[in-house]
Structure 1
Amino acid sequence: MAHHLADPPTPSPEAGGGVRSVKSAERTIAVLEYLSSATRACSLREVSTALGLPRASGYALLTTLVNTGWVETDGAGRYRIGIRALRAGASYVERDDVVQRSQGVMTELNDELGETVHLARLDGAEVVYLATNISRHSLAVVSRPGRRLPSWATGLGKAILAGRPWSEVDELLPEILEPRTVHTITDRTALRAELEAIRRRGHAVDEQESTIGLRCFAVPLDFGTLPNEALSCSVPVVRLDPDREDVIVTALLRARERIIR
């Protein structure tokens, strides 16, 4: 006998697309995001306090995540992101269309320049590193895939932001632009002027704004829409002179055309 499938419930007018959010799922995501951004293992109290969770609920959620491999514990009551999260992140990168289009070009650019090459994507007010080809030199600064940095403090982020209307950028950024170094642009007027200059010349420069001693050159990857990704080359300032900078920028612009065409 055929079974009649009940009609799906009528979406409620709450939460975005009209579907009621699931609190347990929201809490799970919040815990994973908190632990993934933490610089060290965290205690139950730290997680519960930061996320406003009842202690019992926080413990039950963390225990479930440990049992499923998404979170690991050091045996002393502290928690860190687990290997399942790494597998999920690796799967995302491996299947990403922009990464696939860029990797061959990044390898050739790395071979040509001998310097570290990065690919990153804008996510909120931050950039997330998607792929990296490491410099062949012993003196190198590397941002591994998955690392997040404030967009206003990086060449990659500024290259992406420069391709967007200032009104959108202003709304996207936090009220206070926290510095990473003494060179980070934290004044909105100065940042707007910097983005306009980037738009005119076609590439961004991070002048030790993210890491002291490191200069980064970046170009946006605009696939016919507002840019959401950028390609960069990071070089210790001790290895740079004006001629070398011209070579790097020219190579980046050439690489960008090969990726977006």
Structure 2
Amino acid sequence: MDQKYSVPALDRAHAVLTELIDEPYRWKLSDLAKRLDISKSTLYSLLQTMERLQWVNRDRNDTYAIGGALGRFGGAFFRQYSLVESFRKIAEPVMRRLQESVQLAVLEGSDVLYLAKVEAPGPVQMVAGPGVRFPAHATGLGKSLLAGMDEKRLRSLFPDESLPKITVHTIGSRESFIQELRRVVENRYATDIQEGIMGFCCVSAPIRDASGGTTAAVSCSMPIHHWEGKREAARQEMIELAGRLSLGS
């Protein structure tokens, strides 16, 4: 990975957390400063911030341990694997009914990250599969994941008014994309009509957590010549699949 864009404060925070993993409530600020070769003044500011964010806890002896926020992050990390397992079980019969591929993805910055795929038999397939990243604005999955997001955050994710055109059908402006996301909120599903890959369409729906936030999304993709005959069935199947995978449903 290119070190040119690394953030030194995050590197130092990572070093602190690495020290605390195996030996909680052993090291004080002065100990950590010596072990990590970080000045006390710099480390003091860093630990104050990490404590505020609940990345670390400090006890009455001024020693440190991993904080509760990291436990929540870790829980979210492992829940996604539980989600993948559930998806594979539930999406298999959906794929058989539709005879089209079904995907699961999460949002990473302004991209979607594919976590799992139940692939339909057939000679024509999309390339996207587990581990593949793709620009969120050019996919139904991305629209489902971004719909309902605060507009200020959307603008920070997409700082330029012009959006990259993946195909001739990709939405090319940020304002048009924001308008599209508003429609997705109203409809409870999103579509991608040859916006990410020429010759393919998809319909997607968001997976919710217990508080109603979007944590992941599912989609059904198919060759365009199947779209008119299957889009309504696929739309209903994706809404139901997302509902079954949502917490609190």
| Residues in 1 aligned to 2:144 and 2:47: alpha-carbon distance in whole angstroms | 33
- Secondary structure at the counterpart of residue 129 of structure 1: strand
Deviations 1:4-23 (A, max 9, x none): x653536342599459xxxx
RMSD: 2.4
Equivalent residue, structure 2, for 1:7: 28
- Secondary structure at the counterpart of residue 136 of structure 1: coil
| Residues in 2 aligned to 1:208 and 1:231: alpha-carbon distance in whole angstroms | 17
Say whether the 8 Å CA contact 1:134–1:142 is kept in structure 2.
Answer: no
| Residues in 2 aligned to 1:228 and 1:155: alpha-carbon distance in whole angstroms | 15
Equivalent residue, structure 1, for 2:96: 111
TM-score in terms of structure 1 length: 0.64
Q: 1:15 to 1:111 in 2, by over 3 A?
A: farther
Equivalent residue, structure 1, for 2:240: 254
Matched, 1:195 2:181: yes
Matched, 1:184 2:184: no
Equivalent residue, structure 1, for 2:57: none
The amino acid that maps onto 2:136 is S
Equivalent residue, structure 2, for 1:213: 199
Aligned-pair distance for 1:225? 3.6
Deviations 1:120-146 (A, max 9, x none): 000111110000111212122131211
Matched, 1:169 2:169: no
Q: 1:7 to 1:254 in 2, by over 3 A?
A: same
- Secondary structure at the counterpart of residue 96 of structure 1: helix
Q: 1:15 to 1:168 in 2, by over 3 A?
A: farther
The amino acid that maps onto 1:134 is E
Q: 1:254 to 1:180 in 2, by over 3 A?
A: same
Q: 1:167 to 1:12 in 2, by over 3 A?
A: same
- Secondary structure at the counterpart of residue 232 of structure 1: strand
The amino acid that maps onto 2:102 is V
Say whether the 8 Å CA contact 1:94–1:100 is kept in structure 2.
Answer: no
Range moving further from structure 2, 167-176 or 113-122: 167-176
Equivalent residue, structure 2, for 1:226: 213
| Residues in 1 aligned to 2:204 and 2:27: alpha-carbon distance in whole angstroms | 54
Residue 223 (structure 2) aligned to one of 222, 236, 253? 236
Give percent identity, aligned residues only: 27
Aligned-pair distance for 1:180? 0.8
Note the 1:120-159 alignment, pairs <5 A.
Answer: 120-159=105-144
Equivalent residue, structure 1, for 2:81: 96
Q: 1:113 to 1:16 in 2, by over 3 A?
A: farther
The amino acid that maps onto 2:227 is L
Q: 1:225 to 1:15 in 2, by over 3 A?
A: farther
- Secondary structure at the counterpart of residue 206 of structure 2: strand
Instruction: Structure 1: give runs of 5+ residues left out of the alignment.
Output: 20-91
The amino acid that maps onto 1:186 is G
Q: 1:199 to 1:95 in 2, by over 3 A?
A: closer
The amino acid that maps onto 1:13 is S
- Secondary structure at the counterpart of residue 163 of structure 1: coil
Deviations 1:74-114 (A, max 9, x none): xxxxxxxxxxxxxxxxxx78972321232211112111111
Note the 1:47-62 alignment, pairs <5 A.
Answer: none
| Residues in 2 aligned to 1:110 and 1:145: alpha-carbon distance in whole angstroms | 17
Q: 1:16 to 1:205 in 2, by over 3 A?
A: farther
Aligned residues: 184
